[in-house]
Amino acid sequence: MRPRIFITQPVAESAIERLRAVADVELNPDTLHIATKSELIAAVRDRDILFCLLHDRVDRDVIAAGSRLRAIASMKITPSDIDVAEATARRIPVTVIAPIVTEATADIHFALLLAVARRVAEGDRLVRAGIFPGAQSAHLLGFWVHGKTIGLIGGGGRIGRAVAKRAQGFSMRTLYWTPHRKPESEEREAGLTYVSYDELLSTSDFVSVHAPLTPETRHLVGERELSLMKPTAFLVNTARGPIVDEKALVRALAEKRIAGAGLDVFENEPRVEPALLTMDNVVLTPHLGSAVKELREQMASVVVDNIIAVLEGRRPPNCWNSEIYK
């Protein structure tokens, strides 16, 4: 009998075709519907492979329902929201993808930075509403980006360095802070200046979040940190939502203690803090970091490589819990 695979949302057709050559494939065809827990439980019953995406939560109950589950193949770099311990206990490999989203995420990061500083989204809404204030109207005055200071929280990593390269094109001064400072040679190469966390917050015109989500970084940007920022400064986050205390951010924005925010990630995705939806000085995108057609096709192909390895009885190339093979 051919293996059975369930895909939680549409992915690149080339990836689906590769899977259909070796297995029976079913998928949720709706790009706007995130599978509920009950739907995931139903999906894994009598399925050999679960092909899941970043927004899917695969908990202990979902894994337990997959009595013949041979792999959980995620299109994520790290398997957050997957109960890896439960999968490991059942000797089910959890696979991921390589960190190939750097440039795309840096692109959306800088897009948000520019959009919120220059009030691009506000301007778009006005034009669509039939309002054209005039080419030199003071109605949508924004902020300089060129020559300003950007501060990268956790900016020594791949995406932080990619954002720093883009900042060089705007002649920006680039600060960074991370718990583990990079060698001076790497700092020089990337055009980075290391400062303390508080100095970064108090001197940056754009505070740029790039830290990984860990128990230590949850609410790394909270009430205290936002109070250190300049009233003309912007917060941009394309890393992980829970790094920023969203309620504290709403208060800082409402009280005009900071100038605005550009957010691609949210603390309780897919739910967004309702007050953010009403604020003109906030630009919001629905976690578009890797949403580039060519990149998503490459990502899906990596997932397929992992799945085919499992079906052929081989250790998959991107196995997170590789100890199950020892």
Task: Note whether 23 and 3 are within 8 A (CB).
Answer: yes
Structure tokens at 14: 């080339």
| Beta strands 282-284; 260-263: pairing state | parallel
The Cβ-side half-sphere exposure at 132, using a 13 Å CA radius, reads 3
Distance between CA atoms of 279 and 297, rounded to whole angstroms? 35
CB 17 within 8 A of CB 39: no
> Is 269 a known active-site residue?
yes
Q: Which residues pair with 209 in a beta bridge?
A: 153, 237
Which of these, 69, 41, 32, 97, lies nearest to 304 by C-alpha position?
A: 97
Residue 33: active-site member: no
2 is known as an active-site residue: no
Distance, in Å, from the CA atom of 7 to the CA atom of 300, rounded to the nearest integer, reads 11
In three-state secondary structure terms, 200 is helix
Residue among 47, 70, 210, 287 flagged as catalytic: 287
Q: Which of 269, 273, 296, 297 is catalytic?
A: 269
Catalytic residue among 70, 119, 240, 267: 240
Cα gap 113→119, rounded to integer Å: 10
Q: Which of 241-244's residues contact partners 24+ apart within 8 Å by CB, and which partners?
A: 241/265, 241/266, 241/267, 241/268, 241/269, 242/213, 242/218, 242/267, 243/209, 243/211, 243/213, 243/217, 243/218, 243/219, 244/209, 244/219, 244/220
| Catalytically active residues, by annotation | 240, 269, 287
